[in-house]
Chain A
Amino acid sequence: MSTSEMRPLPIVVVGHVDHGKSTLVGRLLHETGSLPEGQVEAVRESSRRRGMPFEWAFVLDALQAERDQGITIDTTQIRFRTERRPYVIIDAPGHKEFLKNMVTGAARAEAALLVIDAAEGVREQSRRHGYLLRLLGIPRIAVVVNKMDLVDWSAERFGEVAEAFRDYLAGLGVDPVAFVPVSAREGDNLVRHSPRMPWYQGPTVVGVLDSFEPAPRPVDRPLRMVVQDVYKFDHRRIVAGRVEAGRLRVGDEIVFSPSNKVARVASIEAWHVPEPPTDAVAGESVGITLTEPIFVERGEIVSHPERAPMETTVFRGRLFWLGARPLEVGHTYTLKLGTAEARVRVERIERVIDTEDLSGRPADRIDRHGAGEVILRADRMLALDPFDANPATGRFVLVEDYVPVGGGTVSMEGYPDQRHLITRKATNIHAVGHAVTREARIARNGHRGGVLWFTGLSGAGKSTLALALERELFRKGYQVYVLDGDNIRGGLNADLGFSPEDRAENIRRVGEVAALFADAGMIAISAFISPYRADRERARRAAGEDFHEIHIHAPLEVCEARDPKGLYRRARAGEIPDFTGITSPYEPPENPELVVPTHELSFEECLALLVDYVEKHFRR
């Protein structure tokens, strides 16, 4: 097979402005005989007219403005081949102003060359580009130390630059495959070893490129097909999309997320093929018909039921920001993930990263060209994967005023799968009619039934207040009962642990039990941290209009200072995993019926607030 029949390996060339990226690519094309006839003459003429020495960069820098200013503005993709195989070389701009173009180029690459000027050494964009390669998920990197002619071909200088950058990359967990000293302009160590650097025994640039292996197609990962459209051009109803991971077969049972509809693949459709396909793997654009006439839409993800994507309204994004206006807490953007779109609000910025030293700090904005970790909340259910589990369905883009302004990868650490929230419960169970009416119960008890759902951090005062309120209400003649960890965890929920999923299930059961108490005419007080908004919303749905969300509130610092059971101290010491407020999130209520600020009021004042609230809302 000739190399032109092989898939070219996409390689991006990145690094600080003027460090010689375009020169490297131009010269490499020349050295490997990949330039078309007449190109060298055209570059010579173009350089001469501008009064410049011969500029190899002009092979790539084709815009007049690029040539006039000697700078790359937009990314270029160009083909070249070695004896081993063909490549797409993606030349990226180094100037900070054009970072969006650098990302555009780099995101397509499977490996990268990071160019550093030997004389100037490691600079701001060298580090930022290194960081972005990592964030974009491009693991294979080689570092090219260029302009060795300017430092007298010094092995020592090369060592200094290489060491400094090796340390930085190590901080990112990246281990480059090689450090190559070159002079791009003079052609040293590009294809052949340079006699001017006899001390260097490692691979040449071409040697490094040829050592990169293409990323394998994710055929072994769980099936993910993103739905682009549903067509009805003729008698067939075809669900069209691309298989992003795994394998799809005719006859497979599949589920669409987030609608959670289930069907079977009746056929895989294709036009002008020798025979109809029976399966499709990662990378293929396909169309399928289904055995059941279910309604599905663009934006859904097809998977096998047993290995479905996660469903959630909230996730953590590790993102980079390209927008002219900063990303800010409270702002909303359009999220694009696969073919799905949703509005998302920035709920919190956990940290912004300083790409100079990789330190992180909390903040309320991320400026242009910055990076950080943010919590995003969507206006509807999303289907997605953590990036590490399935990259294609674990990364997203944010759009503002028509233009993409940021991108990032999904982390679900500390957030549960919400799939069971919307999955329909068994339908063959009918609500039991009661012989005793609600009105009769109210008449007998003298008050309505309902749920007082306390939520708040550990140490905010939930249990203490719940017990005091129970005593007080009972004294006043109410039918009242407290549900808390002690009487629930020991029995009903003895089978549950403390993983995000188990904690969600714990709260689900408490919500259902509390609703039964309310239905029975009693006041149920639940005293669980219940950190996730989605879980509390579900408890509210279970109890209906009788649900009262009460935020027992004190700031984290106050709770941590109180630390009645020494739990914060242990969590800080790493002894308790997934501790709310420390290693797992607390999502405060947005519109609670009542807030009880325990750090501002005395205990008696808090109790009075609660009793008044009940007297007002529950007395007949």
Chain B
Amino acid sequence: MTSNYLAELEAESVYVLREAFARLDRLAVLWSLGKDSNVVLWLCRKAFFGHVPFPVIHIDTGKKFPEMYAFREHYAKAWGLELIVEPAPPEDEVDPTLPPAARSAARKTLGLQRALEKHGFQGLILGIRRDEQALRAKERYFSPRSADNRWDMKDQPPEFWNQYMTDFPPGTHVRVHPLLHWTEIDIWRYTKRENIPVIDLYFARDGKRYRSLGDRDITFPVDSDAATIDEIIAELERTQVPERAGRAMDHESEDAFERLRATGYM
């Protein structure tokens, strides 16, 4: 029964990934090195029988944890990835009216936008989920972006019966979200079932662990004794604390996340 539901989640994501690969030219997948994007890469290998047949982009803010860089180098090689590392631009290039932590996050958006332009990608695969955040709960599997990278959240195209928007006017691109229907617990159960490697920072050390990994200066660990995946799952079954509680930018003002997403944040 357990594996049944995980198999269903996997089958849906694999379907989405294959649609993206069949219908979009110049596709790439974003790898933040966190638990969700590791699952995305894993699902790509499921969909394409051991291969990731498109480039994998890491937008490097230079502020990641050292463990993350080691992880990146090791698995890029082990999994045979076509890795593209793009540096995020300095903070003084982003919208100065955003609150501080959001500004830091916006660097990633700008870096992403420049990477898209530089390589001319038409489709970008991202590991966001509906249960992370109320705006992401309104997302589509195939979410079109305008030429200047904007998300028109008030006028999204209809999406039903596994028919996605896969044709676009020139200059625009699409975000593909194969994990949209997964939850945080699903990610951990699947990670365990498939034995997918994850960074140690997720596991408790000295009574603290990271639930979500962003930049070092704007992500904070939570109190926890969960040192194994099973313990993490047990903790999540109990907790009422939202996953992104440790992400400073979500809490600076009510509209901060909406403004970030409207302009291209993931």
Residues of A within 8 A of B (CB): 1-2, 4-7, 33, 35-39, 42, 46, 49, 59-60, 62-65, 73-79, 88, 100-101, 103-104, 107-108, 136, 228-229, 231, 233-234, 236, 238, 240-242, 269-272, 283-285, 287, 298, 322, 336, 339, 395, 397, 399, 402-404, 407
Given the complex of chains A and B, what is the CA–CA distance between A60 and B160 in angstroms? 20
A1-B1, A37-B241, A298-B22 given; A271·B156 CB < 8 A: no
A79-B183, A285-B14, A407-B160 given; A229·B22 CB < 8 A: yes
A76-B138, A100-B158 given; A228·B130 CB < 8 A: no
Whether the Cβ atoms of B49 and A404 lie closer than 8 Å is: no
Residue on B nearest A243 in the bound complex, by CB: B11
A5-B5, A64-B255, A228-B18 given; A78·B163 CB < 8 A: no
Q: Can you name 27 A-B pairs with beta carbons within 8 Å?
A: A1-B1, A4-B183, A6-B5, A7-B8, A36-B240, A36-B242, A38-B245, A62-B137, A62-B258, A76-B137, A77-B130, A100-B157, A107-B161, A242-B15, A271-B50, A272-B194, A285-B12, A285-B14, A285-B47, A298-B22, A339-B22, A397-B163, A399-B167, A402-B167, A402-B169, A404-B163, A407-B160
Check B19 for interface membership: any CB of A closer than 8 A.
Answer: yes
User: How far apart are B102's CB and chain A's nearest CB, in angstroms?
Assistant: 15
Check B24 for interface membership: any CB of A closer than 8 A.
Answer: no
Whether the Cβ atoms of A75 and B138 lie closer than 8 Å is: yes
User: How far apart are B211's CB and chain A's nearest CB, in angstroms?
Assistant: 12
**B22 contacts across to A, CB distance below 8 A:** 228-229, 298, 339
Given the complex of chains A and B, what is the CA–CA distance between A242 and B162 in angstroms? 11
Residues of B within 8 A of A (CB): 1-2, 4-5, 7-8, 10-12, 14-15, 18-19, 21-22, 45-51, 53, 130-131, 134-135, 137-138, 140, 153-154, 156-161, 163, 165, 167-169, 181, 183, 185, 189, 194, 237, 240-242, 245, 254-255, 258
Whether the Cβ atoms of B49 and A2 lie closer than 8 Å is: no
Whether the Cβ atoms of A36 and B18 lie closer than 8 Å is: no
A242-B11, A404-B165 given; A63·B160 CB < 8 A: no
* 6 nearest A-B residue pairs (beta carbon): A62-B134, A107-B160, A100-B158, A285-B14, A36-B242, A397-B163
Whether the Cβ atoms of A287 and B49 lie closer than 8 Å is: yes
**B21 contacts across to A, CB distance below 8 A:** 229
Given the complex of chains A and B, what is the CA–CA distance between A7 and B3 in angstroms? 10
**B153 contacts across to A, CB distance below 8 A:** 63, 74
A79-B131, A402-B168, A402-B169 given; A73·B154 CB < 8 A: yes
Whether the Cβ atoms of B15 and A5 lie closer than 8 Å is: no
Given the complex of chains A and B, what is the CA–CA distance between A502 and B189 in angstroms? 55
Residue on A nearest B180 in the bound complex, by CB: A77
Given the complex of chains A and B, what is the CA–CA distance between A241 and B156 in angstroms? 27
**B131 contacts across to A, CB distance below 8 A:** 78-79
**B47 contacts across to A, CB distance below 8 A:** 240, 285
Residue on A nearest B9 in the bound complex, by CB: A7
Whether the Cβ atoms of B138 and A231 lie closer than 8 Å is: no
Whether the Cβ atoms of B158 and A1 lie closer than 8 Å is: no
Residue on B nearest A402 in the bound complex, by CB: B167
Given the complex of chains A and B, what is the CA–CA distance between A503 and B50 in angstroms? 51
Whether the Cβ atoms of A403 and B157 lie closer than 8 Å is: yes
User: How far apart are B69's CB and chain A's nearest CB, in angstroms?
Assistant: 26
Q: How many A-B residue pairs have CB under 8 A?
A: 151
A233-B49, A407-B161 given; A63·B169 CB < 8 A: no
Whether the Cβ atoms of B135 and A236 lie closer than 8 Å is: no
Whether the Cβ atoms of A397 and B138 lie closer than 8 Å is: no
Given the complex of chains A and B, what is the CA–CA distance between A136 and B49 in angstroms? 34
Whether the Cβ atoms of B49 and A77 lie closer than 8 Å is: no
Whether the Cβ atoms of A1 and B2 lie closer than 8 Å is: yes
**B135 contacts across to A, CB distance below 8 A:** 62-63
Whether the Cβ atoms of B49 and A101 lie closer than 8 Å is: no
**B7 contacts across to A, CB distance below 8 A:** 284
User: How far apart are B4's CB and chain A's nearest CB, in angstroms?
Assistant: 7
Given the complex of chains A and B, what is the CA–CA distance between A208 and B262 in angstroms? 38
Given the complex of chains A and B, what is the CA–CA distance between A6 and B5 in angstroms? 6
Given the complex of chains A and B, what is the CA–CA distance between A39 and B135 in angstroms? 14
Whether the Cβ atoms of B1 and A103 lie closer than 8 Å is: no
- Most chain-B Cβ atoms within 10 A of its Cβ — which of A38, A65, A136, A271? A271
**B183 contacts across to A, CB distance below 8 A:** 4, 79
Whether the Cβ atoms of A238 and B49 lie closer than 8 Å is: yes
Whether the Cβ atoms of B19 and A228 lie closer than 8 Å is: yes
Whether the Cβ atoms of B8 and A283 lie closer than 8 Å is: yes
Whether the Cβ atoms of B237 and A4 lie closer than 8 Å is: yes
Partner of B53, one of A49, A233, A270: A233
Residue on B nearest A399 in the bound complex, by CB: B167
Given the complex of chains A and B, what is the CA–CA distance between A372 and B243 in angstroms? 45
Whether the Cβ atoms of B168 and A228 lie closer than 8 Å is: no
Whether the Cβ atoms of A60 and B134 lie closer than 8 Å is: yes
**A339 contacts across to B, CB distance below 8 A:** 19, 22
